[in-house]
Amino acid sequence: MPPDLNIRPEEASDADAVENLYAIAFGPGRFSRTAYRMRDGVPHDPLTSFVAERNGLVIGAIRQTRIRVGEAKAYLLGPLAVAETAAKQGIGRGLLKRSIDAARGTAADAIVLVGDPPFYGPSGFDQVWDAILMPGPVERHRLLCLPLKRMVSGPVSVATW
């Protein structure tokens, strides 16, 4: 991790910079994705949402949103994005670790996400195929889960806890 980099909790004043990062990283098609639609209008969780800042600029961000998998408390992780100009310096993995560590201190049983297995696998995420049912289409091989306290399964709903 670069020494001049600061990873800190996302604040309300970061919202525009974070949305801008996500817009560039994921493009306009992001709004039609199931994970994005689930988060639409739902506040992200402040305990597990972080930004990476350098020289006063937000160059990376990660958010998590509270969900339920069946009755179990869980998080939906994402979006995670790092500015292309700052790629491959360990910032993405640094944000991921910080956010997972923060989730371990909550009541969540697990973290669910839709993402690339080679990137998230080393952090402990496994493919869950059809054990977890998202409320919309997802590429099943990209549906991943990290048990924090226990494995979870069942339908996902955006329910606060």
The CB density around residue 16, as the number of other CB atoms within 10 Å, is: 9
The verdict on 127 binding ligand COA (CB under 6 A) reads no
- With CB under 6 A as the contact rule, the residue among 18, 38, 77, 80 that binds ligand COA is 80
Of the CA atoms within 13 Å of residue 148, those in its CB half-sphere come to 19
CB of 67 to ligand COA, least distance (A): 17
- With CB under 6 A as the contact rule, the residue among 6, 23, 116, 124 that binds ligand COA is 116
Nearest residue to ligand COA, by Cβ distance, number only? 92
Cβ proximity to ligand COA: between 57 and 107 the closer is 57
Instruction: Give start and end residues of each alpha helix (H) in 82-142.
Output: 91-104, 117-120
**Distance from C-alpha of 47 to C-alpha of 160, rounded to nearest angstrom:** 14
Listed ranges 39-47, 63-71, 89-97, 130-138: which one lies at the site for ligand COA (CB under 6 A): 89-97
- With CB under 6 A as the contact rule, the residue among 5, 18, 35, 91 that binds ligand COA is 91
Binding residues for ligand COA restricted to 130-149, rule: CB under 6 A: none
Q: Dig out the tokens for 39 from the structure.
A: 């988060």
Integer angstrom CA distances of residue 54 from 2, 4, 8, 91, 94 = 9, 6, 11, 11, 14
The rounded radius of gyration (Å) of the Cα atoms in the chain is 15
Cβ proximity to ligand COA: between 71 and 116 the closer is 116
User: Which residues form the interface with ligand COA (CB under 6 A)?
Assistant: 25, 80-82, 87-93, 115-116, 118-119
